[in-house]
Amino acid sequence: MSTNRQAGASSPWRAPILFAILALLIILEGSWRSALFSGSWNTALAILNMGLISAITALGVNMQWGYAGLFNVGVVGFLALGGLAPVLVSLPPVEGGWAAGGPRVLVALASGLGTLALAVVLWRKLAKSWLRGLVVLAVLIAGFVLYRELFDPAVTAIEANQSARYGNLGGLGWPVLLSWPVGGLFAAAAAWGVGKVALGLRSDYLAIATLGIGEIIVAVLKNEEWLARGVKNITSIPRPVGYEIQLQQNPEFQQAAANWGFPVAEASGIWVKLSYMSLFLVVLLVLILLAELALKSPWGRMMRAIRDNETAAEAMGKNVTNRHLQVFVIGSAVIGIAGAMMITLDGLMAPTGYNPLRYTFLIWVMVIVGGSGNNWGAVLGAVLIWFLWIKAEAWGPQLMSLLTSPLPDGGLKSHLMSSAAHMRFIAMGAVLLLVLRFAPRGLVPEK
Amino acid sequence: MDILNALVAFLNFVFIPAAAYGAQLALGALGVTLIYGILRFSNFAHGDTMAFGTAATILATWGLQGLGITAGPLPTALLALPVGIAVTAAVVLGTDRIVYRFYRARRAAPIILVMASVGVMFVMNGLTRMLPGIGVNEIRFADGARFVIEVRSFREWSGLTEGLALKTTQALTLVVAVLVVWALFRFLNRTKSGKAMRAYSDNEDLALLSGIDPERVVRLTWIIAAALMTIAGTLYGLDKSFKAFNYFQILLPIFAAAIVGGLGNPLGAIAGGFVVAFSEVAVTYPWVKVAGYLFPGWQPDGLLQLLSTEYKFAVSFVILIIVLLFKPTGLFSGKSV
């Protein structure tokens, strides 16, 4: 692999043509009912909306990988952490939940963080001797005991409060759109912690550390019921857009639907999805604008210089580790925003759904296929791969029945048919390997 | 008497499970560290390749059981292991030929190889799920005698209130791990090929100059790694149960073990495996029972459990962080950072 990813030029028409093909695929999905496409605009828009969220996630990953060459394997964790924001910001507070132990939980968390900070300060300030290790260890143990003493009763009290319906703290009751930047902040804070430890070491170490933090964040969301009810899930997160049922009862909307020639139920679904789509598009375009501006600025040139030759950049007086930390935090914040948007779209916080294969590695396939280092490439790759991932569920069995049609009916054929669903993983792995080897610069290469 | 009871409870709930788990992690970490030492990248496909090897072994086990062949009191999977290892080695050599060799020839950055291993991970995951009878199910394939020491007979024999159980799979894990490690170290230290591998790991250019065939070293590494992965995966599956996703999750403790010991250092991988396993079990075990025997007058109101078992992965992560902060080359000084 060449060290300079900017070598060679490609046709300026490449990106527009690929985006046109993508648009055509989505229009076909919406309008042509056939063996390959569903012909339902609701399905097409649902795929597109999730595709746009994937595009924002891919944008964040692309900042880390494309700008700086950082391999983040904990995307799922940062997405999940961002998804916590709509729960904590937009839900109404649970009655009695805060009184049961809210302040105490906050004090406990503060004491935990304070212990860590104190340990770090002591480690730096004290002279290097065997005593230093003992003192820091004692501080950590005492802090942990204090933290558990404060934390456990508070959590028990909160979870006992209306445990069948709530058992959590609830949120602040603010507008749900506010939770999107908050989700970004959550993810950025976690990224700062991980980056501080793992950056500046071998490049594999960041990958392994992010793998760990990803699993831990998901485990926290699954188990801390006071926070977001854990595996009991949170439903009914408020929407930033209208509800289908209200639209269906609105006489003006009924009239408009009749004019378009859609049944009211279908039209209301399409309307809601279109409203989500416009919100997502605004966020996506703003982020791309900012990212492009940053990339063209001196800062962006510096980042690419660091990526292409760390030693040379360091010799020029650039603090490589700090710049890496910066871009890692920014990229994770973008992933966190996408996570908050995803939970807003679903209206449901279900931590068991955060599967790393789907939310970390699929995003990576999107970035690599789209063209690492190119923001439009990441967007294209995200929507395209998401479309194919969804459609592969339907196309896989069809392809398999076509391939196995010459076989006699029996055990082998039925086995192959039933395993067609797992073909998606093999197909995605093969796509990643093929692109990495034969077109390492992706569909839309970096300019 | 109470001290003996405390000791037996400790052995039963902490020491034996942690030792067995540690041996499984150590075998996994040995594979990671060997691949890192020779091929110089962290293999993310390790967990899923372990799952594949275990699945192949399970299929061979079912075949043997269908023929009416069993290993008596031992699990039949032990007899099926060579088949599983051979299949896994073939698959792994195939992936090296198709995927990794290209990047090695171009001396690509390690992170590109890591990424390629993610692609391999996807393919392995899909392959494992497609094997007949495997899918996403949870499979228990341990047969033969379940226990070496049973709780009831131990109580009757010793007259203690606490019972001690030693599962066949746990005893087997330890015995097999010791044998495998002994064979591996003998191979690395005494044979010409093993010395060639160590030379290649120490200094690639110097090894090439002394006439070592790099492709042969790489092939050997993959075959040994495939054997280690299959054995580790099968032992883990026998001890707990087989579920493909669990093998993806065990990747983190395995990496932690390899890094704690020092990446590229086989001795470190073994130590790291036990460090991670013992901390994980000790931190998530409710100590109230042991404390009750040791301090009869003390009635703690909690379970004396530091972390709930759901957070066991947090333990490997914290150990990893501590090592990265204070000694990034690991306890046994692995390759440079």
pLDDT (tens digit per residue) in B286-332: 888 888 888 887 777 777 888 888 888 888 888 888 888 888 888 88
pLDDT (tens digit per residue) in A373-404: 889 999 999 999 999 988 887 787 788 788 87
Q: For residue B336, tell me if it sits in a domain.
A: no
Q: For residue B220, tell me if it sits in a domain.
A: yes
Alpha carbons B172 and B163: distance in angstroms, whole number: 20
Residue of B nearest to A133 (CA): B326
B337 contacts A436? CB cut-off 8 A? no
Q: How confident is the model at residue A6 (pLDDT cuts 50, 70, 90)?
A: very low
Min mean pLDDT across A80-89, A163-172, A261-270, B69-78 is at A163-172
Region B123-131: mean pLDDT is: 89
Mean pLDDT: which of A116-125, A282-291, B200-209 is highest? A282-291
DSSP B146: S
Q: Is A40 left (phi over 0), alpha (psi -120 to 50) or beta?
A: beta
pLDDT at A46: 93
Token representation of residue A287: 């982020």
Domain ranges of chain A: 14-92+170-438, 93-169
Q: For residue B179, tell me if it sits in a domain.
A: yes
Other Cβ atoms less than 10 A from the Cβ of A393: the count is 12
Token representation of residue A261: 């020639």
Q: What is the mean pLDDT of chain A?
A: 87
Instruction: Tell me the helix, strand and coil percentages in chain B, rounded to 5.
Output: 70, 5, 25
Mean pLDDT: which of A31-40, A212-221, B88-97, B283-292 is highest? B88-97
Alpha carbons B195 and B172: distance in angstroms, whole number: 30
pLDDT (tens digit per residue) in A49-86: 999 999 999 999 999 998 888 889 999 999 999 999 99
A1 contacts B251? CB cut-off 8 A? no
For residues A260 and A267, the answer to whether their CB atoms sit within 8 Å is: yes
* Higher per-residue confidence, A247 vs A203: A247
Torsion of CA A438, A445, B109, B31, to 10 degrees: -60
pLDDT at A7: 47
Alpha carbons B214 and B151: distance in angstroms, whole number: 53
**Any residues with CB less than 8 A from the CB of A335 and at least 6 apart, and which?**
A57, A60, A61, A75, A78, A79, A82, A187
For residues A187 and A78, the answer to whether their CB atoms sit within 8 Å is: yes
Q: For residue B176, tell me if it sits in a domain.
A: yes
pLDDT (tens digit per residue) in B226-264: 999 999 999 999 998 898 888 988 999 999 999 888 888
Min mean pLDDT across A207-211, A292-296, A417-421, B129-133 is at A417-421
Which ipTM did the prediction report? 0.87
For residues A105 and A154, the answer to whether their CB atoms sit within 8 Å is: yes
pLDDT at B334: 64
Q: How confident is the model at residue B51 (pLDDT cuts 50, 70, 90)?
A: very high
Alpha carbons A193 and A213: distance in angstroms, whole number: 10
User: What CATH number has the domain spanning A14-92+170-438?
Assistant: 1.10.3470
Q: Is B334 helix (H, G, I), strand (E, B) or coil?
A: coil
A222 contacts B324? CB cut-off 8 A? no
pLDDT at A226: 85
Total number of domains constituting chain B: 1
Percentage of chain A exceeding pLDDT 70: 98
Residue B64, pLDDT above cutoff 50: yes
Q: Which helix (H) or strand (E) holds A100?
A: helix A97-125
Q: For residue B332, tell me if it sits in a domain.
A: no
Is B317 an interface residue toward A (CB < 8 Å)? yes
What is the CATH classification number for the domain harbouring B112?
1.10.3470
Q: For residue B53, tell me if it sits in a domain.
A: yes
Min mean pLDDT across A15-24, A381-390, B188-197, B306-315 is at B306-315
Residue B100, pLDDT above cutoff 90: yes
Region B202-220: mean pLDDT is: 90
Residue A9, pLDDT above cutoff 60: no
Instruction: Tell me the helix, strand and coil percentages in chain A, rounded to 5.
Output: 75, 0, 25
Alpha carbons A358 and B137: distance in angstroms, whole number: 19
Nearest of B252, B80, B187, B76 to residue A212 by alpha carbon: B252
In SS3 terms, B23-89 reads as HHHHHHHHHHHHHHHHHCCCCCCHHHHHHHHHHHHHHHHHHHHHCCCCECCECCHHHHHHHHHHHHH
pLDDT at B145: 81
Residue A18, pLDDT above cutoff 60: yes
Token representation of residue A325: 């930390």
Domain range holding B10?
Answer: 2-326
pLDDT at B46: 95
**Any residues with CB less than 8 A from the CB of B45 and at least 6 apart, and which?**
B95, B117, B118, B120, B121, B124
pLDDT (tens digit per residue) in A281-332: 999 999 999 999 998 899 988 988 888 888 898 898 888 999 999 999 999 9
Q: Give the distance from residue B119's alpha carbon to the nearest chain A alpha carbon, in angstroms.
A: 4
Q: Which residues of chain B make contact with A216, given a CB cutoff of 8 A?
A: 311, 313-314, 317
Residue B337, pLDDT above cutoff 60: no
Min mean pLDDT across A155-169, B122-136, B163-177 is at A155-169
Percentage of chain B exceeding pLDDT 90: 46
* Higher per-residue confidence, A147 vs B334: A147
Question: What are the C-alpha distances in Å from A106 to residues A98, A110, A118, A159, A281?
Answer: 10, 6, 18, 15, 36
Q: Which residues of chain B make contact with A201, given a CB cutoff of 8 A?
A: 324, 328, 337
pLDDT at B69: 84
For residues A78 and A84, the answer to whether their CB atoms sit within 8 Å is: no
Other Cβ atoms less than 10 A from the Cβ of A408: the count is 7
Residues of A with CB under 8 A from a CB of B: 1, 69, 71, 73, 144, 152, 197-198, 201-205, 207-209, 211-213, 215-216, 219, 222-223, 356-357, 361, 364, 368, 415, 419, 422-430, 432-433, 436-437
Helices A362-370, A423-438: crossing angle, 10 deg rounding: 30
Q: Which of A192, A372, A418, A426 should we substitute to test contact with B (largest number of B Cβ atoms within 10 Å)? A: A426
Region A352-356: mean pLDDT is: 89
Helices A179-198, B312-326: crossing angle, 10 deg rounding: 50
Q: Which residues of chain A make contact with B325, given a CB cutoff of 8 A?
A: 197
Residue A266, pLDDT above cutoff 50: yes
Q: Which residues of chain A make contact with B108, given a CB cutoff of 8 A?
A: 1
A219 contacts B314? CB cut-off 8 A? yes
**Any residues with CB less than 8 A from the CB of B304 and at least 6 apart, and which?**
B286, B287, B288, B291
User: What residues pair up with B139 in beta bridges, in sequence order?
Assistant: B242
Percentage of chain A exceeding pLDDT 90: 34
pLDDT at B336: 47
Find the DSSP H helices in A161-263: 179-198, 203-223, 225-228, 244-249, 251-260
Residue of A nearest to B103 (CA): A1
* Higher per-residue confidence, A130 vs B123: B123
Q: How confident is the model at residue A2 (pLDDT cuts 50, 70, 90)?
A: very low
Is B55 an interface residue toward A (CB < 8 Å)? no
* Higher per-residue confidence, A447 vs A286: A286
**Any residues with CB less than 8 A from the CB of A408 and at least 6 apart, and which?**
none
Q: Which helix (H) or strand (E) holds B226?
A: helix B214-239
Q: What is the mean pLDDT of chain B?
A: 89
Nearest of B23, B89, B18, B79 to residue B53 by alpha carbon: B89
